Structure 1
Amino acid sequence: MLKSFRLGNHRSFRDEHELLLMPALPGDDRTAVPVAAIYGANASGKSNLLDGLAFMVSAVRYSFSRWGSESAPRRPFRLDPAARERPSVFVAEFVAGDVPYTYGFTLDDTEVREEWLYSFPEKRKRIVFERTGAAIRFGSTVADTKAKLDVLEELIRPNVLLLSVCASLKLDQLMPAYDWFRAVPELLPSQAASMPSSSLAQRLAHFVEGPQDRSDLLMPLLSAADVGITGIDVIKTTDPKNGRRYYDVRFRHGADYERFELNDESAGTRSWLELLLVLLPVLDTGSLALVDELDRSLHPLLTAKLIGLFKDPETNPHGAQLIFTTHDTSLLGTMLGDQVLDRDQIWFVEKQADGASTLYPLTDFKPRKEQNTERRYLAGSYGAVPVLDRQDFVDAVLGR
């Protein structure tokens, strides 16, 4: 469970900003909220916030196995020459195995400058490890470190995270933190709805026909979404030349079970399928999902129901979380009598005149429970909306 995420000097976030997921409303004693929605104008930097967290996850998982030997693929703020010389910062507070952790690192274009992991069993801070450049210091809780230091020196390149190497070294004290990052699926980008049908079909077939058949979860949610699908057929074929197995998917519609290809389905249906393939396993494991433009091609009522799956303890018993960007302002209000997003689950990203993004929560404005958040947001009360002038559009079209 993620409690907070802080980043700095990553893409449009020149300065350090922090996304806090701890509850901010009176009487809420949960460790973290299950949902966070990010609003802002086009090109404000909303996606860059999710990209920063996705980069941190990817660095933990793949810096050892996939990064080259001489560079770190960071993306610093480009509109300030001084920022290119400063390190990028990524810090996460999370709970793994009922133990709170703080993990973070700074890196420049060629190396990891600092890296640290602290645990807080029984609310007492314990150093798991601290790293400055090539110097690594383990806390007293990490056993057999002397025997592993020689191996570490061979495995850890300057641009590789120590936490990324821990799976190979079998350092038990580091594994809960590593496993937490490993469980986070890749960021679902905004263009997912236009993913090639062949790729989506392969993923769908694996979801239904894989080791853990989840068709019993998928079909009820397709039915509940009212998209007209009454069944799914997976057709397997094998290439006689190379023995490779391929999958095709057909969707049954109507009382006569007429079968349709994936390309025949609407963009909204394909988007719903893509989201379910990512979010159902997250709900099952209690992990974290990152979705750019959750509302893509979906009716607002359907998007609200999807958010509700994470907010409802009955459908989210393992504490899974959903962080997403959206332009759908109807989610700021009520639907069918229910408040879609709580006041401490709403964040804004705004880009300043110098091109740097800022992040801030709705709670900074001390909103009242009964106020119309959607109307106030669209009126500009919270910022993070585009500055539009009707005459500018008229002049542009008329060429004046």
Structure 2
Amino acid sequence: MIRSFRLGNHRSFAGEGELLFMPVKEAAGSSVVPVTAIYGANASGKSNLIDGLLFMRSAVLESFGRWEVDGGVPRKPFQLGEVDEPSLFVVELVLHGVPYTYGFTVDDEAVREEWLYSYPEKRKRKIFEREGEEITFGSTVVGDLRAKLTLLEELIRPNALFLSGCANTKIDVVMPIFEWFQSQLRTRRVDARPRGEVLARQVQRFVQDAPDKRDKLITLLRAADVAISDVQLDEVDDPRAQRQLRDLDEEISELRETVDGDEEGANGESAARLRSLLRHRERLMQRKRTELKFMHDALGEPLGIDDESAGTRNWLDLLPTVLGALENGSAVVVDEIDASLHPLLTARLIGLFQDPEVNPHQAQLIFTTHDTTLLGSMLGEDVLTREQVWFVEKGAAGASSVYALSDFKPRKDQNTERRYLGGSYGAVPILDPQQFADAVLGS
């Protein structure tokens, strides 16, 4: 689970900003809040905060094996002013009951600093620290482990993370961190209209994986009141194979004329080619593909993914990720969760993570949104607690900052939604109605 994320000099964040995913009163403990909502005006930097976490993941997973040797570091520093500092990225995690802190700083050319600490039994243990190309190891890193890490130190490029290189060679001491970035951090950006073909393949793989996953997905589709009663997989002719068959039949027809007119049997190459094409044609005729269809109680014929609404598609896009996270205790990061989803449906989705019985493995949902109804009480109770709400605001110089609702110490009886829209917490656009009117009237 992730307890905090800190970044600096990344996109619209000139200085440092930190998100805490833990209860305020238990900052020293190991518990986390199951849901974190991030609010702010358009272009305030909400997505840039998420992008920072995604950049950190890409650096961990790809810097050693995929970044170009002489390509520097593909960072995205603050562009609206002079910031003579490296970009910073730090996470605090709890993995298998052990807290970890991992972070690094980078400039355009290389990794400047990198560090990994663990805290077994609440005592800090250095695994490694890096400054430039010099790496030091903690006192508990001994024997074969120290020998392996020392050897690897010689192979690390200036623009590659040491953690990325260690994971590439499967060194056990770093694998929990690497595997969290690889499989326990899941991301989604809710699109106004998700691509049908890509979405269909995603849902198809999910329902084919195990019968219980298919049942859960269908149940959540029914619960969402999107009128889908069942999901079926139909075997149909492969369209690509059908296109190839049309071209193939033309060539076969021409070859048949040549072979049939060859009375002396002199054109043996054409005959061999014809036999080969006929065998290939037979294989193409047998090629099928599985097509995802959705049954609706009110309709006799099933519908394809392209016939479903944008809201239904977005719900379908989220469900495999959400169900996988609840099963494995992953962190799900969703940018613009409210796009095409009804507020009540978003509230129910949040409720899945808030329910300890449904979420026994402490999966986390982290999302950006403009949906202020989530700040109030729907369905008879608060959707979000005060410590689950964060704001991002952009200052006059164009730099973003992030801060918590709990910093304002709001009373429980306050109308958080109204106070936020009224500007009490900042992070809202300043909109002058006269300016809008003047723009249209040409004043």
How does the TM-score come out when normalised to structure 2? Answer: 0.85
Corresponding residue for residue 271 of structure 2? none
Corresponding residue for residue 121 of structure 1? 120
Corresponding residue for residue 66 of structure 1? 66
Distance 1:27 1:116 in 2: 22
The structure 2 residue matched to 1:375, chosen from 393, 397, 418, is 418
95 and 245 in structure 1: CA distance in 2 versus 1, 3 angstrom threshold: farther
Corresponding residue for residue 32 of structure 2? 32
Once the two structures are overlaid, the 10-residue window that deviates more, 335-344 or 213-222, is: 213-222
- Give the deviation of 1:184 after TM superposition: 3.3
Q: Given the alignment of the two structures, is residue 331 of structure 1 paired with residue 374 of structure 2, yes or no? A: yes
Q: Given the alignment of the two structures, is residue 394 of structure 1 paired with residue 394 of structure 2, yes or no? A: no
33 and 334 in structure 1: CA distance in 2 versus 1, 3 angstrom threshold: same
Q: Given the alignment of the two structures, is residue 18 of structure 1 paired with residue 18 of structure 2, yes or no? A: yes
- Give the deviation of 1:147 after TM superposition: 3.1
Distance 2:200 2:235 in 1: 11
Once the two structures are overlaid, the 10-residue window that deviates more, 8-17 or 167-176, is: 167-176
Q: Given the alignment of the two structures, is residue 178 of structure 1 paired with residue 178 of structure 2, yes or no? A: yes
Corresponding residue for residue 130 of structure 2? 131
Does structure 2 conserve the Cα–Cα contact (< 8 Å) formed by 1:37 and 1:345?
yes
205 and 389 in structure 1: CA distance in 2 versus 1, 3 angstrom threshold: same
Distance 1:346 1:272 in 2: 23
Does structure 1 conserve the Cα–Cα contact (< 8 Å) formed by 2:30 and 2:99?
no
Corresponding residue for residue 51 of structure 2? 51
Q: Describe how 1:239-388 pairs up with structure 2 within 5 A.
A: 240=241, 246-254=289-297, 257-388=300-431
Once the two structures are overlaid, the 10-residue window that deviates more, 196-205 or 206-215, is: 206-215
Distance 1:361 1:385 in 2: 14
Give the fraction of aligned pairs with identical amino acids, expressed as a percent.
58
Does structure 1 conserve the Cα–Cα contact (< 8 Å) formed by 2:332 and 2:365?
yes
Corresponding residue for residue 278 of structure 2? none
257 and 208 in structure 1: CA distance in 2 versus 1, 3 angstrom threshold: farther
- Give the deviation of 1:190 after TM superposition: 4.0
Distance 2:386 2:160 in 1: 39
Distance 1:28 1:172 in 2: 27
Does structure 2 conserve the Cα–Cα contact (< 8 Å) formed by 1:201 and 1:247?
no
Distance 2:195 2:27 in 1: 46
30 and 373 in structure 1: CA distance in 2 versus 1, 3 angstrom threshold: farther
Distance 2:298 2:423 in 1: 49
- Give the deviation of 1:146 after TM superposition: 4.4
The runs of 4+ residues in structure 1 deviating greater than 6 Å are: 26-30, 241-245
Distance 1:311 1:28 in 2: 21
Does structure 2 conserve the Cα–Cα contact (< 8 Å) formed by 1:10 and 1:77?
yes
Corresponding residue for residue 141 of structure 1? 140
21 and 211 in structure 1: CA distance in 2 versus 1, 3 angstrom threshold: same
Corresponding residue for residue 279 of structure 2? none
Q: Describe how 1:88-237 pairs up with structure 2 within 5 A.
A: 88-143=87-142, 144-149=144-149, 151-153=151-153, 155-191=155-191, 193-210=192-209, 214-236=213-235
- Give the deviation of 1:151 after TM superposition: 4.3
- Give the deviation of 1:11 after TM superposition: 0.3
Distance 1:359 1:256 in 2: 48
Distance 1:176 1:334 in 2: 38
Corresponding residue for residue 78 of structure 1? 79
Does structure 2 conserve the Cα–Cα contact (< 8 Å) formed by 1:25 and 1:344?
no
**Which residue identity lines up with residue 221 of structure 1 in the other structure?**
L
Distance 1:8 1:155 in 2: 28
**Which residue identity lines up with residue 355 of structure 1 in the other structure?**
G
**Unaligned segments of structure 2, at least 5 residues:** 245-282
140 and 333 in structure 1: CA distance in 2 versus 1, 3 angstrom threshold: same
Distance 2:235 2:106 in 1: 46
- Give the deviation of 1:246 after TM superposition: 4.6
Distance 2:30 2:349 in 1: 21
- Give the deviation of 1:141 after TM superposition: 3.0
- Give the deviation of 1:25 after TM superposition: 5.3
**Which residue identity lines up with residue 34 of structure 2 in the other structure?**
P
RMSD: 2.2
- Give the deviation of 1:235 after TM superposition: 3.0
Corresponding residue for residue 262 of structure 2? none
- Give the deviation of 1:153 after TM superposition: 4.1
SS in structure 1 of the partner of residue 65 of structure 2: coil
109 and 245 in structure 1: CA distance in 2 versus 1, 3 angstrom threshold: farther
SS in structure 1 of the partner of residue 187 of structure 2: coil
Does structure 2 conserve the Cα–Cα contact (< 8 Å) formed by 1:104 and 1:117?
yes
345 and 395 in structure 1: CA distance in 2 versus 1, 3 angstrom threshold: same
- Give the deviation of 1:29 after TM superposition: 7.2
How does the TM-score come out when normalised to structure 1? Answer: 0.94
SS in structure 1 of the partner of residue 339 of structure 2: coil
Distance 1:138 1:130 in 2: 6
SS in structure 2 of the partner of residue 4 of structure 1: strand
Distance 1:28 1:227 in 2: 43
247 and 141 in structure 1: CA distance in 2 versus 1, 3 angstrom threshold: farther
Distance 1:42 1:180 in 2: 31
**Unaligned segments of structure 1, at least 5 residues:** none
Aligned length: 397
Distance 1:155 1:307 in 2: 45
28 and 107 in structure 1: CA distance in 2 versus 1, 3 angstrom threshold: closer
What do the CA deviations read for 1:55-94 (whole angstroms, capped 9, x no partner)?
Answer: 11121112122221121111000001x22x4210001111
